[in-house]
């Protein structure tokens, strides 16, 4: 698609400057509601009905998402993704991508992530 960044992204990740794609059965998160790690964890827990005992560490999130992926494929769409973790140090965003990438390559069912409305890099 013409609106995607020209960089090579992993197969599980789609980055779009034109906006989030509409994907059937996708779980949609608003980037503006995920500006901090606690807000991201809360948004994911709410959107995916993750266990209430979900810890607030990347390992706990990875475990909860892996349990979710045991049940079937998952597509996460983040609208206004330029806001995702913007109020956190950059390494938090990198950790999120690492967690998602690890899950995408090792989980029993596919994980797809669509980052929409991302500013040009």
Q: Considering the domain boundaries, does residue 3 fall inside one?
A: no
Q: Considering the domain boundaries, does residue 121 fall inside one?
A: no
Please give the structure tokens belonging to residue 114.
């669509």
Q: Considering the domain boundaries, does residue 4 fall inside one?
A: no
Q: Where are the alpha helices (DSSP H) in the chain?
A: 37-48, 58-70, 90-106
Q: Considering the domain boundaries, does residue 81 fall inside one?
A: yes
DSSP 3-state of 114: strand
Q: Considering the domain boundaries, does residue 6 fall inside one?
A: no
**pLDDT of res. 16:** 82
Q: Which is nearest to 107 in space by CA: 61, 72, 60?
A: 72
pTM metric for this prediction: 0.85
pLDDT tens series, the chain, 121 aa: 344 444 678 999 998 876 556 777 899 999 999 999 999 999 999 999 988 777 789 999 999 999 999 999 999 999 999 999 999 999 999 999 999 999 999 999 999 999 987 654 4
Domain of 45 in residue numbering reads as: 13-115
**What is the number of structural domains in the chain?**
1
CATH number at residue 85: 3.30.370.10
């Amino acid at each position: 698609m013409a609106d995607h960044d020209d960089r090579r992204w992993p197969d599980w990740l789609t980055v779009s400057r034109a906006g989030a794609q509409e994907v059937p059965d996708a779980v949609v998160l608003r980037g503006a509601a995920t500006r901090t790690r606690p807000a991201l964890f809360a948004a994911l827990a709410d959107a995916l009905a993750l266990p209430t005992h979900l810890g607030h560490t990347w390992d706990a999130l990875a475990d909860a998402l892996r349990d979710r992926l045991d049940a079937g494929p998952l597509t996460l769409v983040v609208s206004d993704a330029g806001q995702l973790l913007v109020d956190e140090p950059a390494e938090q965003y990198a950790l999120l991508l690492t967690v998602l990438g690890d899950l995408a390559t090792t989980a029993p069912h596919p994980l797809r992530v669509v980052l929409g409305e991302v500013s040009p890099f």
